[in-house]
Amino acid sequence: MRIAIKYSMDDVQLAIARVIQPISPRPPCIGRAIGQLAFIAEFPSHISNGIATQVFTEASSIDFYPTADELKPLMAFPAFVALMVKYREGLKNPVKAIWQEDGYWDEGYLVEMDESTWLNTQFETFGFKPHA
């Protein structure tokens, strides 16, 4: 009964269910992902492009808004901050995403670039290890 009172609920079973299973999953720590990205940015020649891209996409999630304190480790790498801003803008507005503007030539044809191809192209400039 105390659980129901604590959560302002009349139904004890509902209160117990909410305590055992939260309504929404707990969000991942965006600060941790940004810290990992800063570490990866520090040692690009030791990290593969695939791992770097994976960490970058996690740190750039538009589901969360990083604070200035969370972004602080990444400030030493302004190219990553700029890329994160462009990437997040593209995720928020896919029609006007930067990868929609770019394309590449393949056997004489202009191929539209998608999000992952654009991101891999951007990461090639950072000097990460190529895919094995």
Q: pLDDT digits over 82-118, tens only?
A: 999 999 999 998 888 888 776 666 666 666 778 888 8
pLDDT score of 131 more than 70: no
Mean pLDDT of 3-19: 53
Mean pLDDT of the chain: 76
Q: Which residues contact 96 (CB under 8 A, 6 or more apart)?
A: 90
Give this prediction's pTM: 0.69
pLDDT score of 80 more than 50: yes
pLDDT in tens, 13-59: 555 555 544 444 445 578 888 888 998 898 888 888 888 888 899 89
Domain ranges of the chain: 30-124
Residue 53 contacts residue 121 (beta carbons within 8 Å): no
Q: Which residues contact 72 (CB under 8 A, 6 or more apart)?
A: none
Which is higher by pLDDT, 123 or 28? 123
